[in-house]
Structure 1
Amino acid sequence: MDRVAVVTGASRGIGAATALTLAERGFRVVVNHRSSAEQADEVVQAVTAAGGEALAIRADVTEADDVAAMVQEAEARWGRVDVLVHNALIPYDVTSFADLSWEQLGGKLDRELHAAYLVTKAVVPGMVSRSYGRLVYLTTILSRRPRNGMITVGTAKAAMDQFVRYVALELAPHGVTANLVSPATVGDKKSSELLSATEVHQLGATNPMGRLVSPDEVAKTVAFLASEDAAFTTGHCLEVNGGLTMD
C-alpha cells in the first residue's frame, strides 16, 4: 500500500496510537503536532524502526497558513493525501452555564469548527480529483449526552459532528467518506494527569467491560474507517465505549 495519511495531534495518546496503527497497515503517515516536537519525533522513530514511513510536521490546525503548509509538505513528499484523521485537541474551559462567558463558549465553537474546516478544505480538493478519500474526526459523547461542566466542549463538538455529516453528504458521490469516532474516557497519561486515581478507577468500574478504553482500541476503529474496507460507510459516528452508551 502507498496510501498517505495526515493525523493531527499525533504526538501522544490516540493520535500517536493512530499514527502507529496506520503505519503498521502500510500507510505513510504525517505526524502533526503544535508544540510537542520531541514526542512527535519519537512517534516517527517508532514508525521508522518498525519499517514504516512517517514525517513530523508542526502546524497549528487553527491557523490557515500552518494547515496549508502542512498539506503542501505532505504532497511534496509523497504526492497526495488520501486520509485525514482530525484528532487535535482544541483547548476548552470546564464551567457551569451560570459562570459561562460568551468568550468561553464562542471561542471554543470558533476554534473547533475553524480547525475542522481548515484541515478538511486543505485535503478535499485532491481527494475529489482522485475520486478517493477518507476523513475521520474524533468527537465525544458529550456532544449528545450532556454532563455538568462540559457545556463548551459538548456544544462545540455537536457543531463539528453536524459539519461532518454535511461534508459526508456532499462528498459521497466523489468516493470520499467522512465519519466520526467517539471514544469513552481513555486510559492514558492524559487521564491520569486530569483525574485522580479514584476517579479513574470509578470510571472504569462503571463501564460494562469494567475498564477504560485504550488508545490502541480507538486507533483500530479509526484505521477501519481509514481503510478501503469502509468504502460504503459515511456520515456515521462509531462509539468506542465498551457498551457505556447504546443507541
Structure 2
Amino acid sequence: MLVNYVRSRTAAEEVVAGIEAAGGQAMAIQADVRDTAAVERLIEQAQAAWGGIDVLVHNALTPYVIKPFQDMTWEELGGKLDDEMRAAFAVTKAVLPAMTEQGWGRILYLGTGLSRRPREGMIALGTAKAALNQFARYLAQELGPRGITVNIVEPGPVEGTRMANVLEEELKQRQVAATPLGRLARPGDVAQAVALYASEDNAFMTGTTAAVNGGMSMS
C-alpha cells in the first residue's frame, strides 16, 4: 500500500508502521495531488514497487474557509472547488491505465454529508464535495464496462480527527444526541466501509454512497 501525504509525514509513517505490524507492505511518499507531474511520479513508484494499481482511496483534504457566503470571495469558493476537483481528476487519470489494462479496479472517494445537508459556514467544503460526488457517479457509469467500480464513503464526525477535536463539547454532545447509535464514528468504522468497497466481494456496487454516521443523516 502506498500512503500519500503532503505535510503530515509523521502521521503517514505511523499508518505505514501499523500496516507493516499487521503483516502488510506499505510505504509513505510525499506528493501534492493537485500537481499532475507529482501524481504521475507517485503512481510510477507504486507500480515499480507492486506491479499494478488495484485500489484508489482518495482522501485528500485541501484547505477551505469556514465563513458565510456573504463574506466570501470567489477565490475562496472557486479555489476550493478547483483544488478538490483538480486533485480527484489528477489521481483518477493516473490510475486508470493500469486498472483498464487489468480489467479490474476499485476507486473510492471520501465525501461528507455537508454535500447534501447544508450547515452554517460550510458552503465551500459542501459545494466542493457535492461536485466530487457527481464526478464519482459519472465515472461509475463510464468505467463500469471496464470492471472498475466507483463509490463514495461519507463519514460523519469521526472521533480523534482534527475536525472532531476542534468541536466544542456542547456541539459534540448535540451530534451524539442526533445519532441513533449514540456515539460519533470511530476511524475503524470508516475503514471497514472502505475495505468492503475495495474488496473483491464488492462485485456489484458502484455509483453508491455509504454514509458512515450512525444514522445521523436521518435526523
TM-score range, shorter chain: over 0.9
Shift of 1:192: 4.4
List aligned pairs for 1:82-93, cutoff 5 A. Answer: 82-93=54-65
1:177 to 124, 136, 149: 149
Measure how far apart 1:50 and its partner are: 2.1
Match of 2:129 in 1: 157
CA–CA distance in structure 2, aligned partners of residues 191 and 176 of structure 1: 32
Question: What's the offset of the Cα at 1:199?
Answer: 2.2
- Give the letter for the 2:53 counterpart: V
Aligned counterparts of 1:121 and 1:225: Cα–Cα separation in 2: 20
Structure 1 stretches (4+) deviating beyond 4 angstroms? none
More off after superposition, 35-44 vs 131-140: 35-44
Q: Shift of the alpha carbon at 1:242? A: 1.0
Q: Distance in 1 between matches of 2:57 and 2:94?
A: 13
Give, as a single letter, the amino acid of the residue that structure 2 aligns with 1:136: L
Two-structure CA RMSD over aligned residues (Å): 1.3
In 1, Cα distance between the equivalents of 2:67 and 2:33? 24
The aligned counterpart of 2:2 is 30
Residue-pair matches, total: 219
Q: Which residue of 2 aligns with 1:233?
A: 205
Q: Corresponding residue for 1:22?
A: none
**Which of 207, 217, 220 is the matching residue for 2:189?**
217
Shift of 1:137: 0.3
In structure 2, what is the Cα distance between the partners aligned to 1:98 and 1:191?
Answer: 24
Match for residue 45 of structure 1 among 2, 13, 17: 17
Q: Amino acid of the residue matched to residue 105 of structure 1? A: L
The CA distance in 2 between the partners of 1:35 and 1:55, in whole Å, is 15
User: For residues 78 and 166 of structure 2, what CA distance do their matches in structure 1 show?
Assistant: 24
- Paired residue for 1:137? 109
What letter is aligned with 1:106? G
Which of 83, 88, 98 matches 2:70?
Answer: 98
Residue 26 (structure 2) pairs with residue 54 (structure 1) = yes
> d(CA) in 2 for partners of 1:154 and 1:65?
28
* Structure 1: segments with no counterpart, 5+ residues: 1-28
The CA distance in 2 between the partners of 1:87 and 1:235, in whole Å, is: 17
Superposition deviation, residue 44 in structure 1: 1.3
1: CA distance between counterparts of 2:58 and 2:90?
Answer: 11
Worse-superposed segment, 41-50 or 128-137: 41-50
Residue 191 (structure 1) shift: 3.3
Q: Which residue of 1 is the match for residue 166 of structure 2?
A: 194
What is the CA distance between 1:193 and its match in structure 2? 3.2
The amino acid of 1:161's aligned partner reads N
Letter in 1 for 2:117: R
Whether the aligned pair in 2 keeps the contact of 1:94 and 1:150 (CA below 8 Å) is yes
Of 196-205 and 99-108, deviating more is 196-205
**Is 2:85 aligned against 1:109?**
no
Any unmatched runs of 5+ in structure 2?
none
Alignment check: 8 A CA contact 1:191 1:200 kept: no
Q: CA deviation at 1:188?
A: 1.3
Q: Secondary structure at the match of 1:98?
A: helix
C-alpha contact (below 8 Å) 2:29/2:42 kept by paired residues: yes
Aligned-pair identity (%): 50
Alpha-carbon distance in 1 for matches of 2:149, 2:213:
23
Q: Following the alignment from structure 2 to structure 1, what is the Cα–Cα distance between the partners of residues 154 and 87?
A: 18
Using structure 2 for the length normalisation, give the TM-score.
0.96
How far is the alpha carbon of 1:41 from its aligned partner? Answer: 1.4
Asked if the contact 2:158/2:164 (under 8 Å) is kept, the reply is no
Alpha-carbon distance in structure 1 between the residues aligned to 2:134 and 2:210? 14
